[in-house]
C-alpha cells in the first residue's frame, strides 16, 4: 500500500473494487495539503486553479500538476518508484502521498515549490512518514494540517502530520474490510468504504466514523460503492465511485450525509471523483473514449470537458488551490 493476511485481503478487495483504476491495491492513496484551518467561506473563496493527478504517461506512476486554465502539465515526481492517488486540502503547498517502497507502500510528505533555477513547480523537502512491514495507504489530512487519517494492516489509523503518535481508531475485525478513509473538511467525520453492513453479500457501502463519539454508522445502502470518496466543502455530501448504475458500468454517485440518499451523476466507465470546494465542478477519470483520461464536469450546466490526451493511464485527479510557490529551491525528485 508485506502485510498481514488481512492486509492481503484488503489489497485483493481493492483490486476487485476498482479494476478500472491503476491498481486498486494502491488505491485511494491520498495526497493532502498541510494548511492552517479554513472557514467554509474561505474555502469557497479559494481559487482551485490547478489539479494534481497520477499518470503513467512517461512510464512509472508519477504525480503531475495540471493548470486548469492553460492545460499546461508539469511533472512533480520522477523517482522511478510509483506514487499514487493524490488528495488535497484547500490552500497551502504541502502534500502527503503514498509511494511504493520495494514490495510495500509507505506515506511521504513534501512541499510544492519551484524547481531549482526555474519556475516550474516541483516537490521539495521530501520526508518519509512511515516505515513498516505492512502497507500504509490512503492518507487524508485534517484541515488544520495536524492529523493524518490512513488505512493499514491494523485497520484505520490516525497520526500526527510528522509521522508520530500513531493510533488505531477502527481496528481490523475478522471478515470486515474497511477501505479508503477520508476526513471531512470540518474535521468531525471520517468517511470510508466497508462491507460491514452485510459480510455475506460482498457489497460495499459508505460508512461514517464520528471522531467525537468514536462510533461508526452506515450512511448508504445499496450504493455499491467502490471508493473514490470526495467530500463537498461544506461536509454535507460525498462523491464516490459506484456500480449502482443503469448500465452497471462504473459511474459517479453523490450521497447526502444527512439522509444517506444518493443519485448518479455519470455512468460511462467513470471513477475517482474530486469535488471542488465550491461544489460547482467535479474532476473524474473515465475510459468513455477508450483510454483512461481526466475529465471535468460542470455540476451547474452538466457540461463535460476532456482534460488530458495521453497514451499512458491518467488517474486520481484532485483540485488544488493555485500554488503560491516562493523562491526557487532545489527540487526533490
For the record, the C-alpha cell of 84 comes out as 499514487
Percent residues over pLDDT 90 in the chain: 48
Q: What is the pLDDT of residues 23-76, one digit of tens each?
A: 333 333 333 333 333 343 344 435 788 899 999 998 889 999 998 999 999 888
Q: Is the pLDDT of residue 117 over 90?
A: no
* 122-128: average pLDDT: 81
Report whether 209 contacts 190 (CB < 8 A). yes
CA 259 from centre of chain: 24
Q: What is the pLDDT of residues 247-280, one digit of tens each?
A: 989 999 999 999 999 999 999 999 999 999 888 9
pLDDT band of residue 113 (cuts 50, 70, 90) is confident
Write down the domain spans for the chain. 5-320
Q: Is the pLDDT of residue 90 over 70?
A: no
Lowest mean pLDDT among 63-67, 99-103, 157-161: 99-103
Number of helical H runs and strand E runs in the chain:
2, 24
Question: HEC profile for 102-113?
Answer: CCEEEEEEEEEE
CA distance 322 to 68: 10
CA distance 27 to 48: 23
Report whether 100 contacts 38 (CB < 8 A). no
Which strands sit side by side in the sheet containing 189-194, from one edge to the other?
A: 178-183, 189-194, 205-210, 216-218
Bridge partners (DSSP) of residue 237 are 256
More confident residue, 315 or 30: 315
CA distance 221 to 203: 10
Q: What is the pLDDT of residues 175-208, one digit of tens each?
A: 999 999 999 988 899 999 999 988 877 899 999 9
| Greatest mean pLDDT among 6-15, 70-79, 285-294 | 285-294
* 293-297: average pLDDT: 97
For the record, the C-alpha cell of 21 comes out as 483504476
* 147-165: average pLDDT: 93
Residue 55's nearest CA partner among 241, 311, 319, 333 is: 311
Specify the pairing of strand 136-141 against strand 237-242. unpaired
Predicted confidence at residue 327, as pLDDT, reads 42
Predicted confidence at residue 99, as pLDDT, reads 87
The pTM of the full predicted model, rounded to 2 decimals, is 0.82
Q: What one-character-per-residue DSSP string does 215-284 give?
A: -EEE--SS--EEEEEEE-TTSSEEEEEE--SSS-S-EEEEEETTT--EEEEE-SSEEEEEE-TTSSEEEE
CA distance 107 to 86: 12
pLDDT band of residue 91 (cuts 50, 70, 90) is low
Predicted confidence at residue 35, as pLDDT, reads 30
pLDDT band of residue 210 (cuts 50, 70, 90) is very high
With b for 16 or more beta-carbon neighbours within 10 A and e for fewer, the 32-41 pattern comes to bbbbeebeee
Predicted confidence at residue 333, as pLDDT, reads 45
For cell 454508522, what's the residue? 217
Predicted confidence at residue 92, as pLDDT, reads 53
Domain spanning 5-320: CATH superfamily: TolB, C-terminal domain (2.120.10.30)
CA distance 53 to 261: 29
Amino acid at each position: 500500500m508485506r502485510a498481514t493476511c488481512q492486509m492481503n485481503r484488503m489489497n485483493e478487495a481493492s483490486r476487485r473494487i476498482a479494476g478500472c483504476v491503476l491498481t486498486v491495491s494502491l488505491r485511494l492513496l491520498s495526497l493532502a495539503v498541510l494548511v492552517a484551518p479554513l472557514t467554509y467561506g474561505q474555502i469557497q473563496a479559494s481559487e482551485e486553479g490547478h489539479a494534481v493527478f497520477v499518470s503513467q504517461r512517461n512510464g512509472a506512476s508519477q504525480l503531475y500538476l495540471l493548470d486548469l486554465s492553460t492545460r499546461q502539465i508539469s511533472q512533480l515526481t520522477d523517482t522511478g518508484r510509483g506514487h499514487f492517488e493524490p488528495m488535497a486540502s484547500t490552500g497551502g503547498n504541502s502534500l502527503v502521498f503514498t509511494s511504493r517502497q520495494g514490495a510495500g507502500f509507505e506515506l511521504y510528505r513534501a512541499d510544492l515549490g519551484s524547481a531549482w533555477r526555474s519556475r516550474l513547480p516541483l516537490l521539495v523537502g521530501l520526508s518519509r512518514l512511515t516505515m513498516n512491514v505492512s502497507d500504509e495507504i490512503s492518507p487524508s489530512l485534517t484541515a488544520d494540517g495536524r492529523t493524518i487519517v490512513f488505512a493499514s494492516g491494523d485497520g484505520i489509523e490516525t497520526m500526527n502530520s510528522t509521522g508520530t503518535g500513531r493510533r488505531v481508531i477502527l481496528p481490523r475485525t475478522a471478515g470486515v474490510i474497511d477501505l479508503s478513509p477520508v476526513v471531512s473538511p470540518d474535521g468531525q467525520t471520517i468517511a470510508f468504504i466497508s462491507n460491514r453492513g452485510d459480510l455475506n453479500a460482498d457489497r460495499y457501502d459508505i460508512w461514517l466514523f464520528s471522531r467525537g463519539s468514536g462510533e461508526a454508522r452506515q450512511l448508504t445502502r445499496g450504493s455499491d460503492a467502490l471508493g473514490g470518496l470526495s467530500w463537498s466543502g461544506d461536509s454535507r455530501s460525498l462523491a464516490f465511485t459506484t456500480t449502482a448504475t443503469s448500465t452497471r458500468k462504473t459511474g459517479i454517485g453523490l450521497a447526502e450525509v444527512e439522509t444517506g440518499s444518493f443519485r448518479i451523476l455519470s455512468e460511462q466507465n467513470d471513477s475517482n471523483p474530486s469535488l471542488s470546494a465550491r461544489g460547482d465542478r467535479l474532476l473524474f477519470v473515465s475510459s468513455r473514449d477508450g483510454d483512461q483520461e481526466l475529465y471535468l464536469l460542470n455540476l451547474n450546466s452538466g457540461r463535460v470537458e476532456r482534460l488530458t490526451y495521453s497514451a499512458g493511464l491518467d488517474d486520481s485527479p484532485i483540485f488544488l488551490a493555485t500554488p503560491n510557490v516562493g523562491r526557487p529551491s532545489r527540487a526533490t525528485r
